[in-house]
Amino acid sequence: MELNRMLTIWDVGTRTVDVETVLKGVGKSSIRLREGVYGTLLTVVTERLQLHEVPIRFNELKRATQNSMCRSLKVFLAGSVPDLSEKGLVQDGSTWYLPHKDIGIGAVPYGKDEWCFLIEKRKGSGVTDRALQYLPQLEYQLKLEVV
């Protein structure tokens, strides 16, 4: 699967964001800051990235935003939506979704010869790196820490 781009939305609250740190890392990124009454949202679009580099870039952004909450992770892939039933997703017409009450995971056609796989969690701790195991064609290996 060819990855076209990755889009993340971070709730940075009242933290100061170092733009240069956010732009560094895997791929080529652009950012947009939206300031509101209750804090700031940071949107980061990263291109020139391979699918296996998504977790690396995700963790780079998490560190760069000082562990801010990721509200949304979207990866845009070339082609059409594949069968995602092995990941536990259910098909509803041309879209796929994971029946879960706390996190939104789905796949939708997006434009011509492109589709979007999205992971959204707008409350609690946000999207975690464990949620990346649902990315298509990405094997997630659980890391154990010895205490």
Give the contacts of 6 (CB within 8 A, at least 6 positions apart).
27, 45, 46, 47, 49, 54, 57, 73, 74, 75, 76
Q: Is residue 31 part of a domain?
A: yes
Exposed e or buried b per residue across 104-132, where buried means at least 16 C-beta atoms within 10 angstroms of its C-beta? ebbbeebeeebbbbbbbbeeeebbeeebb
pLDDT value at residue 100: 82
Is residue 74 in a domain? yes
Number of domains within the chain: 1
- For residue 141, pLDDT over 50 is answered with no
Rounded CA separation 144/147 (Å)? 9
**Is residue 61 in a domain?**
yes
Domain membership of residue 142 (yes or no) is no
Q: For the whole model, what pTM was predicted?
A: 0.85
Query: With 80 as the cut, is the pLDDT of residue 145 above it?
Result: no
Residue 128 belongs to what domain range?
3-134
- Is residue 98 a part of any domain in this protein? yes
Q: Is the residue at 139 inside a domain?
A: no
Domain annotation covers residue 143: no
**What are the pLDDT digits (tens) for 56-67?**
999 999 999 988
Q: How confident is the model at residue 31 (pLDDT cuts 50, 70, 90)?
A: very high
Residue 147 falls inside a structural domain: no
**Total length of the chain:** 147
